[in-house]
Every structure is written in C-alpha cells, then in structure tokens.
Amino acid sequence: MPSLTFYGGVGEIGGNKILLEDERKRIWFDFGMSFAQSGRYFAEFLQPKKYNGVLDFLEMDLLPGLSDMGGFYREDYLSHAAMETWDKAAYDAVFLSHAHADHSFYIHFIRREIPIYASEVTRQILAAIETTSTSGFTDFLTFKETFKLTSKKRGEGQTRLIGEKAKVPRDFRVIEEGGKVLIGDIAIEALAVNHSLPGALGFIIHTSRGAIAYSGDLRFHGYGGGLTRRFVERAAEAEPIALICEGTRINETESLTEQDIQDRAGKVVQQTKNLAIVNYPWKDIERMRSFYEVARASKRRLVVSLKQAHLLKMLEGTDAQAPPLDDDHIAIYIDRKNWGLVTKLDYPRNIIEQDYENWEREFLDHPNRVTCEDIRRHPSDFIIRIDFFALADLIDLRPAEGSCYIRSMTEPLDEEAEIELWRVENWLRHFGLYPYEQIHASGHASGSEIKRLIEDIDPKLVFPIHTEHPEQFQEIVPRGTKVVIPERGREYRI
Ligand SMILES: [Zn+2]
Ligand SMILES: [Zn+2]
C-alpha cells in the first residue's frame, strides 16, 4: 500500500520534502530548503557551521531527523560528526520539480549515489548556481568530498583533500518532459508546467493503488501557461486517487499575466527619459523575456548581470526560451569588482582579469559587454537589472534625473532572501528613484485557478502543501473530494 510522508512544505510556502513509499521503494519528491524555518534561526551573518555537517540543520529542524539517516545523508558529513553511516543507500531516488531553493537545495546533504531526476533545464540552472554561488552548501551535480585526507604529493604525511581531486559527479539523471521513469514497479511521469523559472515539472506517480499527481509549483498566466493546462488534462486522464497540490496563493483571486507586466513596464519605460532600472529574480527567464520585449519596443538594450550571462549560456540549446546572449537588445554588465579595474584601460588585460572569477572572465571581451561608463554616457539606451544586493552599483551608474526603478519581484519566501525594504528605499531616495514602480506577476496560480484545477483533475484526496492556509482548500474542493491537511512527519496510507 502506498504511503506519503510530508517533511516540509507543511503549513508553509516552500521547503517541500515529500516521501513516497510503495512496493518496497522509497522515493522523495523535492528536497528543498524552508525559508521560514531557516529564517527563524539563521541570517546572512549567522549561518550553520560547515564542520557540523548535517548536525546544525537537524538541530534546528531544517533537515528531517530520520530513523535511517545513515542510509540517506552524505557519509563524509555523518562520519565527521561521529554519526552512524550505512553501507548502502536506504532510498531509491529523488525527483525535483524545479530548481528553486525551496524545492531542491538540500540535495546537497544526500548520499551521492542516490539518483536525482530533473528536467534538463533544471540541471543547467542548478549547475549555474553551483558555479556562481559562494555558499558552501551547493553540491548539486558535483559532490565535493569533505573532511577527507590524502597523501602528500611530495614528502611524507597527509594533507586535506581539496580542489579537483575531491570532486565526484552525482548520479544526476535528466527526465524528458512527457517521459516516464520506472523505479521498480512505480512509474513516474514528468510533465512540464509553467512557473516563474523555466524547466518546472509536475509529476504523475503510478503506484500500486493508482495514480498520485504532484503539482510542484505552477501558474497559468505565464507565456508557457499552456503547459500547465496540459498537465491538468493529463493528470485528469490518470484519474488519480490523490493530488498533492501547491496553494501559495489559495486566498488570492487576481493574477496579472506576464503580458500585463510587459505592457505596464513598457509604458513606464516609454515615459522614462534616462536610465530604466529593474529588479526581478535573476533566474526568472519569462520575466527577463518581458523586459527584453520592453527593451526592443523602446529601442533600448536589456542589461543582464554576469551571473545571468552565465545562466543564459548554460541554457543555450535547451527549451528554456531565453533571449540569446549575442542579441542586439541584450548587453552584459561587467560590474566593477575588487580593484575595480574594468574601467581603467591603462591596466593590462591579465591584471584586470584578476578582479573576476574564472567563470566571469569569458564575458570580459564579449561583443555585448558594457561597463558603468557606457551606461553613464548613454543612459536612455539601457534597461539594467540591479537587485537589492547590488544597490551600491548605483554609485557607479549615477542615474540622472528622469530615471526610474521598477520592482518586479516574486514572493520573497519563494525566492532568494530579501534585505529589509526600508534600507532599499533609502538607496532609492538618495538617487531620486523614489517612489518606485511595483509591477509584478506571481509564479503561482490564484485561488480560483486552483479550484478549477482540482475540479478538472477530480482526485479522491487532496493534500494541500506549499501554503500557509491549507484549511482554505476545504472551501474550494468539489463534493466527493476529501482534503487531508498533512502533519509534518506523519505517514498517510493511501
Ligand atoms: Zn516553491
Ligand atoms: Zn518555485
């Protein structure tokens, strides 16, 4: 008999960690970080200690304390913390719905031989985060053996195993959209859905007792909304016994569409005489496309950050539908770093290069590169993305009167942490960018759309997750559908 246990995403937005057990197989659906739980204890300068491995995360209830942790969490961390390790993995696979932190980041902590399944786009986004992040907890595709010793190259004795030699690839497997994966007798069908980052999947899990559908995070109002509608149709055909459904916006009715964003931002930019500054999540490719279209229509260029340039490069050749890096309406912002030499032409190239990480260097000579000086000279030629953590770049950019700031962010809980808004507002006031424009479309379906989705799929059971208001599902489900509000760590037999 199949059973489901929810270790995260329960009464909170994100942190999904769902365990399915059936036919002696044990499969995770998402293994993400809970921003709410993490934010209760940790902040930018108050972080878990690397030397404790999983201990700090278990202590603060960020990772589930399982009875068979020795067969699940990574052995290097467990043995360094004097915890029991098993010879074999106690779990069969992890399926990731998408690359947002609240669904995927804690795969860092699991044994490297446990297969991880995700879409090609999710794989590329995770690779881009792994390369560009400075956090020590991003072993998504490449497992870096930690706390290990190795013989010295020269002379006697041992030294720490670090660098290339410590790296081992994880068993990361790409699922085709519309494809099926068999784990024992359980077939898992992956279907693309639309969300605020590309590559998102919903799943239909064919268990011994019938199908269970899992929404992941989804919306209907993006450019790729048709994908979500197809997921709903396919899930309905499977006549599922249960639906695990996200409910981020269960008590909200209205949704701006991605097209609305394009139209509204377009108007603001048309009226802007100088520099247009925008802030949207760096991985949200549909939002990037919206601003790219605004840039084309206003004969400007959309300036992306180095991190975004790297992501766009990783997404080339995938179906993410990202704007190409060498497009006439795209520019790559080489921000000043370290010694700030990129604007000082009398320094030799190799010295300038030292301001940048390896992965950034390839963009230094890109035909579409721009620096703060290019933008200062021709501010009305550009729309630049400056996020809250890059606000100090405004000192280099010196936006003149007649510039604008458009805030176009998704729910902070579902994305990267935000700094306090009052501090942001101080920056914007200082540079005459206040009041700013707030133009945003959510990455999630509204309450009425979720109601339709449940009516169309018509499952016997609904498990509301990824929501602070699971009880509201009771008011929207059709008669004959039972809502089960999951409790954390409790096993539900289906
Ligand atoms: Zn989420
Ligand atoms: Zn998400």
Task: Compute, in angstroms, the gap from residue 217 CA to the centroid of ligand 2.
Answer: 5
Task: Compute, in angstroms, the gap from residue 171 CA to the centroid of ligand 2.
Answer: 23
Task: Compute, in angstroms, the gap from residue 201 CA to the centroid of ligand 2.
Answer: 10
- Per-residue model confidence as pLDDT tens digits over 111-124: 999 999 999 999 99
- Per-residue model confidence as pLDDT tens digits over 311-332: 999 999 999 999 999 999 999 9
Contact 470, 252 (CB under 8 A): no
Residue 145 DSSP SS3: coil
Report which bound ligand comes closest to the CA of 32: 1
Task: Compute, in angstroms, the gap from residue 313 CA to the centroid of ligand 2.
Answer: 22
Task: Compute, in angstroms, the gap from residue 149 CA to the centroid of ligand 1.
Answer: 38
- Please, which pLDDT band fits residue 148 given cuts at 50, 70 and 90? very high
Report which bound ligand comes closest to the CA of 14: 1
Question: In this predicted model, which residue has the larger pLDDT, 423 or 161?
Answer: 161
Task: Compute, in angstroms, the gap from residue 95 CA to the centroid of ligand 1.
Answer: 14
Tell me the percentage of the chain whose pLDDT exceeds 90: 93
Contact 413, 217 (CB under 8 A): no
Please give the structure tokens belonging to residue 474: 């009771």
Report which bound ligand comes closest to the CA of 466: 1
CATH class of 3-251+444-493: alpha beta
Over 70: is that where the pLDDT of 414 sits?
A: no
Report which bound ligand comes closest to the CA of 247: 1
The tokens 């997921």 sit on which residue?
231
Report which bound ligand comes closest to the CA of 30: 1
Residue 413: the pLDDT is 45
Task: Compute, in angstroms, the gap from residue 251 CA to the centroid of ligand 2.
Answer: 18
What average pLDDT is seen over the chain? 95
Report which bound ligand comes closest to the CA of 35: 1
Over 80: is that where the pLDDT of 274 sits?
A: yes
Task: Compute, in angstroms, the gap from residue 173 CA to the centroid of ligand 2.
Answer: 20
Could you tell me the residue ranges of all domains in the chain?
3-251+444-493, 258-438
- Per-residue model confidence as pLDDT tens digits over 345-375: 899 999 999 999 999 999 999 999 999 999 9
Q: Alpha carbon 239 to chain centroid distance?
A: 30
- Per-residue model confidence as pLDDT tens digits over 433-485: 999 999 999 999 999 999 999 999 999 999 999 999 999 999 999 999 999 99
Task: Compute, in angstroms, the gap from residue 213 CA to the centroid of ligand 1.
Answer: 16
- Per-residue model confidence as pLDDT tens digits over 85-102: 999 999 999 999 999 999
Residue 422: the pLDDT is 84
Alpha carbons 427 and 443: distance in angstroms, whole number? 27
* 384 strand-pairing partners: 277, 303
Task: Compute, in angstroms, the gap from residue 388 CA to the centroid of ligand 1.
Answer: 21
Residue 485: the pLDDT is 98
Alpha carbons 151 and 288: distance in angstroms, whole number? 48
Task: Compute, in angstroms, the gap from residue 12 CA to the centroid of ligand 1.
Answer: 10
Task: Compute, in angstroms, the gap from residue 218 CA to the centroid of ligand 1.
Answer: 9
Task: Compute, in angstroms, the gap from residue 306 CA to the centroid of ligand 1.
Answer: 25
Task: Compute, in angstroms, the gap from residue 354 CA to the centroid of ligand 2.
Answer: 35
Task: Compute, in angstroms, the gap from residue 233 CA to the centroid of ligand 1.
Answer: 22
Please give the structure tokens belonging to residue 256: 């701006």
3-state helix, strand, coil in the chain (%, to 5): 30, 20, 45
Report which bound ligand comes closest to the CA of 34: 1
Distances (CA, A) of 241 to 110, 148, 206, 209: 30, 47, 10, 8
Task: Compute, in angstroms, the gap from residue 96 CA to the centroid of ligand 2.
Answer: 11
Same fold, 3-251+444-493 and 258-438: no
Task: Compute, in angstroms, the gap from residue 98 CA to the centroid of ligand 1.
Answer: 8
Task: Compute, in angstroms, the gap from residue 484 CA to the centroid of ligand 2.
Answer: 22
Picking from 293, 212, 95, the residue whose alpha carbon sits closest to that of residue 460 is: 212
Task: Compute, in angstroms, the gap from residue 348 CA to the centroid of ligand 1.
Answer: 45
Over 80: is that where the pLDDT of 415 sits?
A: no
Task: Compute, in angstroms, the gap from residue 121 CA to the centroid of ligand 1.
Answer: 17
The tokens 């260029």 sit on which residue?
301
Task: Compute, in angstroms, the gap from residue 467 CA to the centroid of ligand 1.
Answer: 9
Entry pTM: 0.97
Over 50: is that where the pLDDT of 296 sits?
A: yes
Report which bound ligand comes closest to the CA of 102: 1
Over 50: is that where the pLDDT of 410 sits?
A: yes
Least confident of 20-34, 212-226, 366-380, 400-414: 400-414
Residue 153: the pLDDT is 87
Task: Compute, in angstroms, the gap from residue 299 CA to the centroid of ligand 2.
Answer: 32
Over 70: is that where the pLDDT of 149 sits?
A: yes
Task: Compute, in angstroms, the gap from residue 257 CA to the centroid of ligand 2.
Answer: 17
* Mean pLDDT value of segment 70-95: 97
- Per-residue model confidence as pLDDT tens digits over 224-271: 999 999 999 999 999 999 999 999 999 998 779 999 999 999 999 999
Cβ contacts of 80 within 8 Å, gap of 6 or more:
51, 53, 146, 147
What is the separation, in whole angstroms, between the first and last Cα of the chain? 7
Domain 258-438: CATH superfamily is Metallo-hydrolase/oxidoreductase (3.40.50.10710)
Handedness of CA 477, 482, 488, 493 (dihedral sign): negative
Report which bound ligand comes closest to the CA of 9: 1
Task: Compute, in angstroms, the gap from residue 196 CA to the centroid of ligand 2.
Answer: 7
Residue 43: the pLDDT is 85
Residue 253: the pLDDT is 87
Task: Compute, in angstroms, the gap from residue 419 CA to the centroid of ligand 1.
Answer: 19
